Structure 1
């Protein structure tokens, strides 16, 4: 058993930011008052206070994302590559989302299956809130939170019901140019005595889009169908909720979806199903505030009939999981302590449809863990979040080799408010990750010569961050310095499953937001240096990608006299070049600046109707995002460029 070392935290003093904003005065009685940034909020960490990202209901209503690229467009710490839904890879501070503990309504999500596919994520149409906890994650964030956690939270009946109403519905319809096509959604929700329900379906159909140079990107058409059902029942002091979520993308795609290949397209079907049952009390006490969650999930990835007589291109991936978590939160006066256990069993099946000596590859993992996490806010200005967890992990490979081990993880983040509205913080964690299976889809191109290294060991992660928060009545700001190291992740199974070296992402991220009575504006800037064993990485996708310097600015403005809201987002990236890029055969990543704008109108006599006009890539720029595969001159690989100017007109009706 590998044991973690003790983490000692020290405070650090950084220069205060955003003082210019604090010097601005507002008229008496005017101005939007923003929540101050503090480490502990309602017993939980404030994610933004430590360099993370929160996409709130207000953000979702403003940007109305059709995909995950648009979902994170206002946050420089998160990069999403272009293309079709199944090709979009999400990277946080340069590290792929699979290296974070990802959950949807508390249900853990599978790792990304294949290096040419995207990160698993829910349809943005169903979302209520997204939290990206970058760096030192809490012990109750879940197993293997290597570089933090991503939590997607979906809508429910009480989120949409108007005051005084017991039932309602929503219809949404939009049509967009440049391949965006038609998107339609329908939801029904309500409450009756102790019961509540929420049912929603969303469908999007379109064509291949053109990039800013007018080139059509094959296999990029929207083709997703999704559904979400939540059934809840409350009795006495108890609540149970049954939830089912399904998403499907079924269309013709290119062979390697994260590249712009001038080749034919082939059928690809990607599906995701999750069934969960949750219990919680409606009358918590200081010693009794329990929650229990049980789930079953399945991801499938099917590409038949690739190329006749070239079987290595045909495959089917399937991942199935079952597990749960049981926890209780104790009120301890100055804070809370959460304790619990979680477990999961996952099996993976890879069928390459090939005439080889090993067509089917199957692997399985099993994990069980116990955790405790305390969160405290003291009267002397000190906030503290600290915890630990112990996990046992078992891995069985496709040849029946079984390995098992146990390990411990610890984390701590401390903050001190040294002046009203000004706070410094420091955090650290060391996380035991168990046996990383990596992108198991690599096995579709392997035969019986592929084996697991007898010396294969559990992976580990270390995170350090420190920074400063500042806030006034109408502004907030944050500056965070981060350093994340991932050691022992899986390689590409070629032909040996073995541990890789140390992936590292270090840099700084800063954000600020200013609000006034009828609007708000914000900015975030991130600089991340990403390396493997000390060498800078080329833009070749995978577990980590070079980010360089990126920024995002946004503004939202209400015009009450016309029942109108307008806004825009400006995403920028600095040119990415250097020996690490050119020596690997890649061309420089050019810089870019892209503007997305929208206008939203609510008719005065029909407040339940919203009409929206959106223009993405307003200036019709030809560009590709920082998490995209770069242009490789030696292999004649062209990056997957983002869509050119796209105009969308939509309407939403609540009834």
Structure 2
């Protein structure tokens, strides 16, 4: 579909749904301020970022991260089984951003055949994507921005006036989606609040739009979320535990199809386990003052990837066990000023990595680690028509490789974003940052396929990034819109090369070349009392040392043109809500070793009904890929000479029942 055809579809959909909306009773809209800084708080949407709100998640009812980001053209998700799904922002893999879940930093992507992270969207309350110049308090090594996931709490789910409650949800979908369910209990009493929630998916392999079965694609995610809070005097303490897992028989290389290469392992299914566990403890005050608004945060986490029965043993390829352990925290305080706020603090992280390779390369267990200690400050200020967000941080970083060799260095990072209100409701903005990243460990799982002996380049250096963004945003109450130009350059990422040299016959860990992402994104949204419509469009060009990148690259990936259109409409008199999403990607040419990818348009729709006779019950009918399109998601591994893409599910119909009690 040409972009003109897509925009025409946007217009038709807007007229249809807007007409339906104005036919309903019109309620007064809450004014949404999309200024850069408002009362000391920064709004990432004001500078081209994205926010997936609680309302968005309710409308999407996502079963996986592909569905979670369906309405954001700036975020693409590579296809494959659940644990193979990789998240890209402006063509940059999520590991290049500072990623947190409830404030706890998440491990980067360990291997180019695994996904960005494993978590169940059933637990989510909201997601913020701050692309480009990230704030200093976003965390260490925010090369290309930050992604913040927030899970639900007891107060999010409790009805007003209640001190205890529960929620049960059960869904069934065809085309392999199978059964998924979650159960939550929560409450608040005498200073305590608590939430306990479990979820599980159990399905089969799905079929593409052409009816081809995708082996190893059965959904199998499960998780536990537990939160306890206690308030006394002017203090609050929160203890959180999160467990996410995916245990299922998978193809060894989950993100691509090896059938074309006629490999022995092309269709073999082997047991695979991916787990994530995080415990965090947070202290805050319930009576902040202008000079005292502290947060003390500690976390410990473990990520495991276990592939125990890979039949194709070889010199550099076999079974493997990956484990990452993190311990860290931060102490910060927010100072409130007449003009805004200043956040200042210190943070630290101890990160241990282990690779157990069972192949015949003699590697055995390889252990490596990093240590980080940093100090930061970020000011968010308003001066008349100007808003300013600026900050800096200084970090120390040490890397110890599997041979006991140590590398240490320190560096500074700085950022600044300024907006100017041209007229009421219209702001121009510009931002830039230079970020010191320390030693980039990257996809350390390559070590399982690197023959002993294997070394680190003595000249291994720290990495750094530069970001620039300029644009305009408009806010006229019911209408919001904006345009952003962005450019990100990252230098010095890791490269576990196998290129033999005189000194290193099996290759060595060294620094890669320069990666760059450049483009622009546009967005517009209109809401009325009972509904809303929105559209966004993104154009991204990525390169490596000035050359085009093919879709086999896992660090940056070609995206080209993408767009999304969404509509939601409520019919209050029928307790009914309907909506839909249109995802579009333009055709794109890849380097000679990969076939061009055709344009595709995918339509998803839903209807949600709350029967008056069944208090607290919500029934939802969803149809994904309504027209049974055969396609693979943009940013997926492409169709090449030795491997082909994993195609997305064909039409999938699901029914969900949710009971609040």
Shorter-normalised TM range: over 0.9
Residues 1:69 and 2:66 are matched in the alignment: yes
Q: Does 1:497 align with 2:521?
A: no
**For residue 295 of structure 1, what is the aligned residue in structure 2?**
299
Query: CA shift at 1:113, angstroms?
Result: 0.5
**How much has 1:82 moved relative to structure 2?**
1.7
Aligned residue among 554, 557, 571 for 2:583: 571
Alignment correspondent of 1:177: 174
1:579-618 equivalence runs, <5 A: 581-583=590-592, 585-618=593-626
Other-structure match for 1:545: 557
Which deviates more, 58-67 or 486-495?
486-495
1:639 aligned to 2:645? yes
1:122-521 to 2 correspondences below 5 Å = 122-262=119-259, 263-307=267-311, 309-310=313-314, 312-378=317-383, 380-494=384-498, 495-521=507-533
- Other structure's SS at 2:495 match: coil
Moved more, 440-449 or 65-74: 440-449
Deviation, structure 1 residue 33: 4.7
**Cα separation, 1, equivalents of 2:39 and 2:444:** 39
Deviation at 1:29, TM superposition (A): 6.4
Question: Deviation of residue 26 (structure 1)?
Answer: 7.9
Where does residue 548 of structure 2 map in the other structure? 536
In the other structure, the counterpart of 1:649 is 655
CA displacement at 1:310 relative to structure 2: 4.0
Distance, in Å, in 1 between the alignment partners of 2:41 and 2:402 is 41
Moved more, 36-45 or 161-170: 36-45
Measured in 2, the distance between the counterparts of 1:615 and 1:440 equals 39
Paired residues of 2:119 and 2:245 also in contact (CA < 8 A): no
- Higher mean C-alpha displacement, 480-489 vs 39-48: 39-48
Measure, in 2, the Cα distance between the counterparts of 1:56 and 1:653. Answer: 21
TM-superposition CA deviations, 1:378-416 (whole Å, max 9, x none): 2x2100000000000000001111000000000000000
Q: State how far apart, in whole Å, the 2-side matches of 1:529 and 1:40 are.
A: 30
Q: Does 1:619 align with 2:627?
A: yes
Q: CA deviation at 1:229?
A: 0.3
Change over 3 Å in CA distance of 1:76–1:427 after alignment to 2: same
Q: 1:308 to 1:453 in 2, by over 3 A?
A: closer
User: How far does residue 446 in structure 1 lie from its aligned partner after superposition?
Assistant: 1.1
Distance in 2, matches of 1:442 and 1:362, equals: 13
Kindly indicate whether the alpha-carbon contact (under 8 Å) linking 1:502 and 1:533 is maintained by their aligned counterparts in 2. Answer: yes
Label 1:361 to 1:624 Cα distance change in 2 as closer, same or farther (>3 A): same
Q: Taking structure 1 as the reference length, what is the TM-score of the superposition?
A: 0.94
Local SS of the residue matching 2:95 = helix
- Cα distance, 1:451 vs. partner? 1.1
C-alpha contact (below 8 Å) 2:215/2:251 kept by paired residues:
yes
Q: Could you list the per-position Cα deviations for residues 404-443 of structure 1 after superposition, in whole angstroms to 9, with x for gaps in the alignment?
A: 0000000000000010101000000000000001100111
8 A Cα contact 1:479 1:511, kept in partner: yes
SS in structure 2 opposite 1:165? Answer: coil
The whole-number CA distance in structure 2 between the counterparts of 1:296 and 1:216 is: 39
What do the CA deviations read for 1:442-468 (whole angstroms, capped 9, x no partner)? 111112232111111000000000000
Match of 2:42 in 1: 45
Aligned-residue Cα RMSD (Å) equals 1.8
Q: Distance in 2 between matches of 1:587 and 1:539?
A: 10
CA distance, structure 2, for counterparts of residue 265 and residue 30 of structure 1: 54
Hey, what's the Cα distance between the residues in 2 that align with 1:222 and 1:44?
39
**Corresponding position: 1:557 with 2:569:** yes
1:302-342 CA-partner distances (Å, limit 9, x unpaired):
00111065472200000001000110000011100000000
Among 609, 622, 637, which residue is 1:629 paired with? 637
State the 1:358 CA deviation: 2.2
Does the CA-based 8 Å contact 1:36-1:476 persist in structure 2?
A: no
Unaligned runs of 5+ in 2: 1-10, 260-266, 499-506
Q: How many angstroms apart in 2 are the aligned matches of 1:601 and 1:260?
A: 40
Aligned position for 1:11: none
The TM-score with structure 2 as length reference comes to 0.93
SS in 1 for 2:561: strand
Measure how far apart 1:202 and its partner are. Answer: 0.3
Q: For each residue in 1:60-103, what CA deviation from the matched residue of structure 2 results, as whole angstroms up to 9, or x when unmatched?
A: 11111111000000000000012211100000000000000000
1:114 aligns with 2:111: yes
How much does 1:128 deviate? 0.5
Task: Report the alpha carbon displacement of residue 356 of structure 1 after superposing the two structures with TM.
Answer: 3.3
Q: Deviations over 1:186-207 (max 9, x none)?
A: 0000011011100000000000
Query: 1:558/1:299 Cα in 2 relative to 1: closer, same or farther (>3 Å)?
Result: same
Per the alignment, in what secondary structure is the counterpart of residue 494 of structure 2?
Answer: coil
Runs (4 or more) in structure 1 with deviation over 6 Å come to 24-29
1:14 alignment partner in structure 2:
none
Look up the SS of the partner of 2:329 in the other structure. strand
Report SS of the residue matched to 1:313. Answer: coil
SS at match of 1:612: strand
Unaligned 5+ runs, structure 1: 1-17
| Aligned residues between the structures | 629
Greater shift in the superposed pair: 221-230 or 310-319: 310-319
Q: Which moved more, 1:323-332 or 1:255-264?
A: 255-264
> Does the 8 Å CA contact 2:83/2:118 hold for their aligned counterparts?
no
Write the deviation string for residues 275-303 of structure 1: whole angstroms up to 9, x where unpaired: 11110000000000000110110000000
Residue pair 1:442, 1:493 contacting (<8 A) in 2 also: no
Determine if contact 1:179/1:221 at 8 Å carries over to the other structure.
yes
Preserved CA contact (<8 Å) 1:189 1:196? yes
Does the 8 A contact of 1:541 with 1:627 survive in 2? Answer: no
Local SS of the residue matching 2:563 = strand
Alpha-carbon distance in 1 for matches of 2:31, 2:252: 47
